[in-house]
A and B are shown apart, each in its own frame.
Chain A
Amino acid sequence: SAVISQKPSRDICQRGTSLTIQCQVDSQVTMMFWYRQQPGQSLTLIATANQGSEATYESGFVIDKFPISRPNLTFSTLTVSNMSPEDSSIYLCSVGIEGTTEAFFGQGTRLTVV
């Protein structure tokens, strides 16, 4: 497995502002992903964070709203831009490790937009 650290663990933000969430892994991983979990809902895949290139977004998610960076094999950021109360969710980073197919998750970032 891998140790995945997400920062911040929670935040309360004003609408119209942006928040950048960081995901740090303790080892090099092949795949990194970002998920959103809205209140009372399951996890929805936002995008695959590609190392050194633009992220691959799922239907319904766009780069202008959720810009993602992945400068190396152990680190990624997700920015939630121009936030509204509807963006209040838990945002989770997950990683895939060579030789395995399951995903491992960070502890999540609980975002509240007021």
Chain B
Amino acid sequence: RKEVEQDPGPFNVPEGATVAFNCTYSNSASQSFFWYRQDCRKEPKLLMSVYSSGNEDGRFTAQLNRASQYISLLIRDSKLSDSATYLCAVNRGSSASKIIFGSGTRLSIRP
């Protein structure tokens, strides 16, 4: 079983739509959870850290369910500029910054 599993998509949605990504992780000792965004031919950039209480940043909402070992990302009112690959990431047990990535979910927003 992969350490971090993610639906690879692609998701192709119209501008203004709401889209949700899901991710599961296998290591119950993981302490830190993230969503990264990767644009074509660029390095990944941190989008959001994910906290147990859930967190929101503008149109983006991330949630964590430790019992189910499940992470989600919700994008509301999607924009053309949201088109990218979204990578779920989890740290390896207690090792801070040693991060394992999911396969990534490709999102395309159409006009």
Contacts and interface: CB of A to CB of B under 8 A. Distances in A.
Given A31-B96, A42-B87, A96-B96, A102 B46 contact: yes
Contacts, number: 58
A79 interface: no
Interface stretch (A63-71, A80-88, A104-112): A104-112
Interface residues of B, number: 22
Interface stretch (B14-22, B54-62, B71-79, B99-107): B99-107
B108 interface: no
A42 B49 CA distance: 19
A31 B44 contact: no
A53 interface: no
Main secondary structure of the interface of A (DSSP, over half): strand
B34 A42 contact: no
Nearest to B92: A45
Given A41-B103, A101-B32, A102-B32, A107 B97 contact: no
Given A31-B97, A33-B98, A45-B98, A101 B43 contact: no
Contact of B97 (A42, A92, A100): A100
Contacts of B100: 45
B24 to A, nearest CB: 15
Contacts of B101: 42-44
Given A102-B97, A103-B46, 19 more contacts: A30-B96, A31-B98, A33-B98, A42-B104, A43-B44, A43-B87, A43-B101, A45-B99, A92-B43, A95-B97, A96-B96, A101-B32, A101-B91, A102-B99, A103-B89, A103-B97, A106-B43, A107-B43, A110-B41
Interface of A: 30-31, 33, 41-45, 48, 92, 94-97, 100-108, 110
Interface of B: 31-32, 34, 41-46, 49, 87, 89, 91, 96-104
